[in-house]
Amino acid sequence: MEKRASFGRQALRQLILLIVSVIVIYPVLWVVQTAMTPAQEFRREIAVSSWSFDNFRDVVSTKDARGRWLFGRQLWNSLAVAGVTTLFGIFLALTGAYALSRFDFPGRETGLATLLVTQMFPGVVMAIPIYIILDKLKLLNSMWGLTLVYSTTAIPFCIWMLKGYIDTIPKDLEEAALLDGATRWQIFTRIALPLARPAIAVTALFSFMTAWNEFILAATFLNQETAYTLPVAIQRYVESEKTAWGHFAAAAILVSLPVVALFFALQRHLVGGLTAGSVK
Amino acid sequence: MASVTLRGVGKDFGATTILPSIDLEIADGTFLVLVGPSGCGKSTVLRIVAGLEAATRGDVAIDGESVTDKKPRDRDVAMVFQSYALYPHMTVRENLAFALRLRKDPQAAIDARVAEVGEMLGLGALLERFPRQLSGGQRQRVAMGRAIVRRPRVFLFDEPLSTLDAALRGKLRVELKRLHQQLKSTMIYVTHDQIEAMTLADQIVVLNGGVIQQHGTPDELYRRPANRFVAGFIGSPPMNFLDVEIAKDGDGSAMRAPGLELRLPERWPEGPAVLGLRPNDLVPSDDAAAPLSGEVDVVEPIGWEAHLHGRIGETPVCAQLTADVARRYEPASTIRFDIAPRALHLFDRDSGARLSAEAQDA
Amino acid sequence: MLDDERRPASVRTSRRFAFALALLVVGGFPSLVTARTTLTLWHSYQGDERKALETSVARLNERSTTIRVNSLWVPYSAFIRRLNQAIPRGHGPDLFIFAHEHIGNWVESGRLQPIEGAVPTSELDRFFPETLAALRYDDKLCGLPLAFKNLVLFYNRKLVPTPPKSFDELIRIAKRLTRHEEHRYGLVFKSTDFYVHAAFLFGFGGTLFDERGRPRLDTPENVRSLEFVRDLVRREQIVPRNVAGDLITKLFNAGLAAMVINGPWFLGEIKAGLDFGVAPLPVLSQSGRPPRPFVTVDGIFLSAKSNHRAAAIEVMRALTSDDAAFLRATLGKQLVANRAVHRRPEVRDDPKARVFRQQLRDTVPMPNVPAMRFVWEPANRALRKVMRGAAEPRAALTEAQKRIRMLMQPPPPPANPVPYAIVLGLLLLGAVALWIRRLAQPQMRRAMRENRAAYAFAAPATITLLGLLITPFVMGAVVAFFAYRNGAFTFVGARNFVDVLLSREVGLTDPLSFYYTFAVTVLWTALNVAAHLVIGVALAMALRDKWVKLRAFYRVLFILPWAVPNYITALVWRGIFDEEFGSMNALLQALGAEPVNWFSHFWTSFAANMVTNMWLGFPFMMVVTLGALQAIPSDLEEAAAVDGASAAQRFRHVVLPLLAPALIPAVIMGTVWTFNMFNVIYLVSGGEPDGSTEILISEAYKWAFDRYERYGYASAYALLIFFILLGYSRLTRRLREPGRT
Ligand SMILES: Nc1ncnc2c1ncn2[C@@H]1O[C@H](COP(=O)(O)OP(=O)(O)O)[C@@H](O)[C@H]1O
Ligand SMILES: [Mg+2]
């Protein structure tokens, strides 16, 4: 549009961006530096005197008494729980959002209002009831119970977001497909689903994050250390009498990496997927 | 190949009635154009035929068989949308093949059919492109192709040309006409553009406010508009209307208005009426006895013809003249017109219904 | 494992063979082999302690043909919560290892079964009597001791060649060695931690309970102990005022602390090569008595719901045998409770272990009665106030006493459920009637029939949401009408709400009052959302134009805080704000300012929470704004520019109104999330100082899990939170859905 801003304005803008960058990066660098410092202590200078991967090695090579490779199993658990949660979450959110976006059925308004309301549930009171319900469903101690709970936690927001996105997909397309002989389900899978891909990517991301980061329920439900997820396992570094900062930092990096990678892989969709509904 | 029948079809959205009751008979192979101002319910009629919208009352039949309770996909109709509704995530080929795939035609048959239709519409080179890589006209053709591929019993078009520029619109109109001649299928075409209606239609239905105003051939509609609405809607530039008073005058009638003094041999109903005159029926005359006289405001030359805008009494009128003739009139000068007797259209002032001369002549 | 290596190879192979055979037999003829009793054991040991325990368990499993023990490490932070949830529902362990101080509560709530009489008295003789005493509740033995922990004096031999015998002597030495400008201190201990202070309290003859067993803090002896420590800190100034985190370790390792009062875990933190000694705590010259620190005992306990009492007791005895204890002492470096182990040369010859054992005689078992949990918070609060100079010892303890009385209030009396049942019944009836009325309308039924597909699509999400979100919420909400005590719920009607809302127990401005916390929560939410909005929009505007240098890079970089798991972010920032080691203070010092003890003042603590939450929250707003900006046609702004609007005017009058439709829902969502942002508060400030930076959700959590298991009270809090948010969203509905009423 207008001609480029004056040099002064540009410089100011870059300066602000630079400052924010420093603020954003600083804690990250601090964690990296702590992870790279061999001694289990808390340091404050950003100055890496000697690089060492000992902390990473210690964390990754954690084994239990029977010599089973705990870190590997816990990583696998986390991946499995988060992966299945993502699939569940996408399925539940997408079908739900589709119904809310495409049909004007009795109960729709109630549904929409309820979704918003669930965001206001204080999680604190729900931990014990969830435990009781999973117990009744015989899903305690299993990955499935956790997975269900996680996908349920993530879906209200995901439905809200997906519905906004699906609203922007022209209805014409589906009517055309209807005339072309498609069933409702075919329209859903062949037209709506591929077209909602950016929003699905974001849904996937949020579902994955919910499952990947949760530790309070996981620490309560799972009955075997080999079944723990990584965030539960990480507690060991934070809660001893003396925090093992180096190990904590190394573990934090290892745990964060997959989500960060996923975030960056999907960040192109983030902008569109998140806001399509509200800006139309 | 099929006929389409609507019997007492009506539609309410909530408490508002959009279509009170439509009766329509469309013979096999007809190109029927449904025309009317926007918001009058044309799309709704079309969507009811397609099954995308359920009629609140009445019955739709295709080939004599009621389809009111059938799902869209069981009606065997195809529709071309105003937005084209091309699947953005499929190539042109996939778009064309989609319906055939869904009904599980053998792959070879699908390929052959897609190729054939692609050929017919000149889409051959575009088959591997995505819709976003196509121009407006190309997209339109793909949308038609998608309808044609299936060999449906009935084609439905919802303002398919309205988003295109004028030149392209003209060209595609011709193509559509050719297509109809080639396929000989029943086609229902919705538009708000009366020129499209006139050029394309075998039959035109004029719709206003959800009510059919007139149903007939383009020629019938042009020559004998059933009411003032149809008269004003069909024809370009639109018909001029003058409020007149009709009085008895011997055997015939006399029509008067400021700037108008005309004797009519037939006997017309007395009282207030509206006179309709098509711009090309206004013939300038130097004769001081010519029945119409008015004042020139603006002359608009358009190549070999010109539109002369003036006033008769206080009513603005438009006359369609050849450029040569029009050049003779300066703004603010007086102009007189002759009217051919057959060019008169008289309408009831209140109801807008067409008036006819009394019995002896009818 | 360990002993495997000591055995000759042939034995090992033959054992493997036997094992393989056993497998075959078990697999082939399952009916012929009696199944082993499998017992579950929960613990939260880590590192060497864990290794030692697991080795003992492995040996036990090898030797026993009838019992198999599965041990499970449970994170310490989740241990009690999990135990309390799991045992009543039969998912708990058979055995668990934990500090002894909760046993009273566990017995009262039917989670732990005493083992009185199950172990021969002769066998109990193998433990130090002090450790057994700690495990008695209501005159019944509740478990067997594994290890004990108490405080002693550590001293740097370079600075203090011989340890002082009395506190007068200690003060003299300490004064000589204290140099405030150099951060040198004669004595370092956590003077604001009641666990530590108890040593002085008992040394002055103080007590925690009156003759009827009710907590009583404001006794003259207790006041005297507090005055004494206050003088060490504030008059003699030989002790640093605020000892948080790892300051003790840091100072001692750096040679800046001459003497330290600390427990056995400190041994593992002292850096190698430092020449130090340990000594019993010196005698208090004023009272002529030695300080008597608390002793805590790690015990192994039997779940009330275990079906294998006999087998479990056998395991308890095996894991507390002298051999197992020896392993824990040598490999696990624990101070074990077995007397005989302390006589074996490996332990006997360790002078440090001897000192702890010696000090053990002058200890008080940490009270294990349920009432003790009401003492901690008020006592710590009093200590902090006094050390800060904000209150005199007597006044502080009087206030603490008041607080204890408040916390100890008996649960509200049972209420008559009938009126509630009637109201509920009427409401339900009304709802059903309304529903039936709607269903009776033909157009409604028709709309439902026509939309059958919609219900099919909505079903999966609806069912899971109903089952796992709405039902738990309703169940949780129902708890708000009950009071919980010792494993049982009693119906109390709306009493919890009345208590919370009338705030009768505490003043309105007390951090424990609902209104205080509500005000903090509103402030917290408003400031955070405003900050997120301003930062998010500003950054999005800065990154909007295509020609901005490094635009793509910044855009990716700025969503990083969103990508990092927020509990990690919170812990990291907690570290950054650490008084001694955090880089925030390093920065301040580099700028020439005084370091700040972030979590000891409301505003600094609040600011630390804010900064953390701002860091992790702005990317969401930025991304939403970026998305909305994309949809704003540039010709509008161009038109405004042509009309002579300045950049600021264009933003204010063109861009902002067009952003609003996207930003308003984001702000509303953001508000709801921030209002309930538990992780940041819990992990960064933890409510410090004195619970003043707590927000409603974290306060509710503390009432339920960290304080006194007041589930009903916590649930009333949670319901109030919910209604506040619901009201908020109703109020903002107009904004959210313009055009709808
Ligand atoms: N789903 C609907 N709900 C309510 N009113 C509708 C709906 N669809 C169309 N209408 C109204 O019905 C009238 C006819 O619409 P339509 O058939 O699309 O007109 P057009 O002749 O322009 O195609 C319009 O006034 C429109 O506002
Ligand atoms: Mg239309």
Q: What is the C-alpha separation between A139 and C690, in angstroms, rounded?
A: 40
| Contact predicate B114/B97, CB 8 Å | yes
- C560/A28 CB distance under 8 A: yes
pLDDT at C28: 41
Residues in A touching C565 (Cβ below 8 Å)? 209, 212-213, 231, 252, 255-256, 259
Instruction: Please check whether residues C526 and C625 belong to one and the same domain.
Output: yes
Residue B114 has pLDDT above 90, yes or no: yes
Mutation probe of ligand 1 site: the residue of B9, B38, B43 with most atoms within 8 A of C-beta: B43
Q: What is the CATH number of the domain that holds C42?
A: 3.40.190.10
Distance B41 CA to ligand 2 centre (A): 7
The token duo for C510 is: 């007390």
Residue C32 has pLDDT above 50, yes or no: no
Per-domain residue ranges of chain B: 4-228, 240-348
Q: What is the pLDDT of residues A158-207, one digit of tens each?
A: 888 888 888 888 888 999 999 998 988 999 999 999 988 888 888 888 88
Does domain B240-348 correspond to CATH entry 3.40.50.11310? no
Q: What is the pLDDT of residues C226-260, one digit of tens each?
A: 999 998 888 888 888 777 666 788 788 888 889 99
Q: Measuring CA to CA, how many Å separate B69 from each of B23, B57, C223?
A: 18, 12, 89
The answer to whether C714 faces chain A, any CB pair under 8 Å, is yes
Q: What is the pLDDT of residues B123-143, one digit of tens each?
A: 888 999 999 899 888 998 999
Q: Determine whether the shortest distance from the Cβ of B40 to ligand 1 is under 6 A.
A: yes
The shortest CB-CB distance from A172 to any of B81, B99, B103 is to B81
Name every residue whose Cβ is closer than 8 Å to that of residue C5 and which is 6 or more positions away in sequence: none
Q: Determine whether the shortest distance from the Cβ of B18 to ligand 1 is under 6 A.
A: yes
| Contact predicate B268/B355, CB 8 Å | yes
Mutation for testing the C interface, residue in A20, A73, A87, A120 having most C CBs under 10 Å:
A120
Work out the average pLDDT over A131-136. 84
The shortest CB-CB distance from C568 to any of A25, A245, A252 is to A252
Distance from CA of C662 to the nearest CA of A (A): 5
Mutation probe of ligand 1 site: the residue of B16, B18, B233 with most atoms within 8 A of C-beta: B18
Work out the average pLDDT over A89-112. 89
Closest C-alpha residue for ligand 1 atom 27: B39
Structure-model confidence comparison of residues C702 and C461, the more confident one: C461
Instruction: Please check whether residues C186 and C81 belong to one and the same domain.
Output: no
Beta strands in C84-133 (DSSP E): 95-99
Ranges C5-14, C481-490, C630-639, C711-720, most confident: C711-720
Residue C326 has pLDDT above 60, yes or no: yes
Residues in C touching A28 (Cβ below 8 Å)? 560, 564
Instruction: Please check whether residues C339 and C392 belong to one and the same domain.
Output: no
Residue B359 has pLDDT above 50, yes or no: yes
The answer to whether C89 faces chain A, any CB pair under 8 Å, is yes
Work out the average pLDDT over C390-410. 85
> Taking CA atoms, what residue in B is nearest to A180?
B99
Per 3-state DSSP, chain B is made up of helix, strand and coil in percentages (nearest 5) of: 30, 35, 35
Beta strands in B209-288 (DSSP E): 211-216, 240-249, 252-257, 260-264, 271-277, 282-285
- C701/A132 CB distance under 8 A: no
What class does CATH assign to B4-228? alpha beta
pLDDT-derived band at B18 (thresholds 50, 70, 90) equals very high
| Contact predicate C292/C362, CB 8 Å | yes
Judge whether B4-228 and B240-348 match in fold.
no
Residue B218 has pLDDT above 90, yes or no: yes
The answer to whether residue C466 is domain-embedded is no
pLDDT at B360: 54
Domain count, chain C: 4
Minimum mean pLDDT range among A52-66, A237-251, C586-600 = A237-251
Q: Determine whether the shortest distance from the Cβ of B259 to ligand 1 is under 6 A.
A: no
pLDDT, mean over chain C: 83
The shortest CB-CB distance from A152 to any of C245, C465, C571 is to C465
Residue A135 has pLDDT above 70, yes or no: yes
Instruction: Please check whether residues C556 and C573 belong to one and the same domain.
Output: yes
The answer to whether residue C231 is domain-embedded is yes
pLDDT at B106: 93
Distance from CA of C558 to the nearest CA of A (A): 7
Please name which of A25, A103, B336, A42 lies closest in space to residue C458, comparing C-alpha atoms.
A103
Q: What is the C-alpha separation between C487 and C464, in angstroms, rounded?
A: 29
Phi-psi region of C428 (alpha: psi -120 to 50; beta: other; left: phi over 0): alpha
Structure-model confidence comparison of residues C14 and B204, the more confident one: B204
List, in sequence order, every residue forming a beta bridge with B211; answer none if it has no partner. B208
Distance B44 CA to ligand 1 centre (A): 6
Residue C475 has pLDDT above 70, yes or no: yes
Please name which of B150, B192, B194, B157 lies closest in space to residue B175, comparing C-alpha atoms.
B157
The token duo for B217 is: 């051939």
Residue C595 has pLDDT above 60, yes or no: yes
Q: What is the C-alpha separation between C700 and C26, in angstroms, rounded?
A: 51
Atom of ligand 1 nearest to the CA of B41: 17
Q: What is the pLDDT of residues A14-24, one digit of tens each?
A: 888 888 888 88
Distance from CA of B51 to the nearest CA of A (A): 9
Closest C-alpha residue for ligand 1 atom 3: B13
The shortest CB-CB distance from A173 to any of B77, B78, B87 is to B87
Work out the average pLDDT over C413-419. 81
The answer to whether residue C430 is domain-embedded is no
Q: To 10 degrees, what angle do helices C602-630 and C656-675 make?
A: 140
Work out the average pLDDT over C103-131. 88
Return the SS3 of B26. strand
Q: What is the pTM for the complete model shown?
A: 0.80
Q: What is the C-alpha separation between C562 and C673, in angstroms, rounded?
A: 14
Q: What is the pLDDT of residues C695-708, one digit of tens each?
A: 888 888 888 877 77
pLDDT at C21: 42
Instruction: Please check whether residues C203 and C276 belong to one and the same domain.
Output: yes
Structure-model confidence comparison of residues B205 and C645, the more confident one: B205
The shortest CB-CB distance from B85 to any of A173, A181, A186 is to A173
Distance C451 CA to ligand 1 centre (A): 21
| Contact predicate C145/C123, CB 8 Å | no
pLDDT, mean over chain B: 90
Minimum mean pLDDT range among A136-140, B84-88, C151-155 = A136-140
- A213/C57 CB distance under 8 A: no
| Contact predicate C725/C675, CB 8 Å | yes
pLDDT at B357: 80
Residues in B touching A172 (Cβ below 8 Å)? 81, 83, 85
Instruction: Please check whether residues C207 and C121 belong to one and the same domain.
Output: no
pLDDT-derived band at C740 (thresholds 50, 70, 90) equals very low
Q: How many CB pairs under 8 A join A and B?
A: 54
The answer to whether C194 faces chain A, any CB pair under 8 Å, is no
The token duo for A143 is: 């990955």
pLDDT at C13: 41
Structure-model confidence comparison of residues B303 and C600, the more confident one: B303
Return the SS3 of C54. helix
Which DSSP symbol is given to A24?
H
pLDDT at C19: 46
Chains in contact with C, where contact means 3 or more Cβ–Cβ distances below 8 Å, are A
Work out the average pLDDT over B158-184. 88
Q: What is the C-alpha separation between A251 and C401, in angstroms, rounded?
A: 44
Instruction: Please check whether residues C532 and C677 belong to one and the same domain.
Output: yes
- B83/A186 CB distance under 8 A: no
Q: Determine whether the shortest distance from the Cβ of B39 to ligand 1 is under 6 A.
A: yes
- C559/A267 CB distance under 8 A: yes
Q: What is the C-alpha separation between C629 and A1, in angstroms, rounded?
A: 14
In one-letter notation, the amino acid at residue C490 is T
pLDDT at C531: 93
**Domain residues for C398?**
152-292+376-407
List, in sequence order, every residue forming a beta bridge with B308; answer none if it has no partner. B299, B319
Per-domain residue ranges of chain A: 1-52, 67-279
The answer to whether C69 faces chain A, any CB pair under 8 Å, is no
The token duo for C56 is: 């003992």
Work out the average pLDDT over B166-178. 88
Instruction: Please check whether residues C555 and C621 belong to one and the same domain.
Output: yes
Atom of ligand 1 nearest to the CA of B11: 12
Percentage of residues in chain B having pLDDT higher than 90: 53
Distance from CA of C683 to the nearest CA of A (A): 11
The shortest CB-CB distance from C76 to any of A107, A239, A248 is to A239
Instruction: Please check whether residues C659 and C592 belong to one and the same domain.
Output: yes
CATH number of A67-279: 1.10.3720.10
Q: What is the pLDDT of residues C357-399, one digit of tens each?
A: 888 888 899 998 888 888 888 898 899 888 888 889 999 999 8
Distance from CA of C634 to the nearest CA of A (A): 7
Distance from CA of A1 to the nearest CA of B (A): 25
- Whether residue A27 is preceded by a cis peptide bond, meaning omega within 30 degrees of 0, is no
Q: Measuring CA to CA, how many Å separate C10 from each of C4, C7, C58, C512?
A: 11, 8, 20, 68
Burial zone of A10 (CB within 10 Å; 0-12 exposed, 13-18 middle, 19+ buried): middle
pLDDT-derived band at C7 (thresholds 50, 70, 90) equals very low
Instruction: Please check whether residues C328 and C215 belong to one and the same domain.
Output: no
| C residues 281-320 closer than 8 Å to A (CB) | none
ipTM of the complex: 0.85
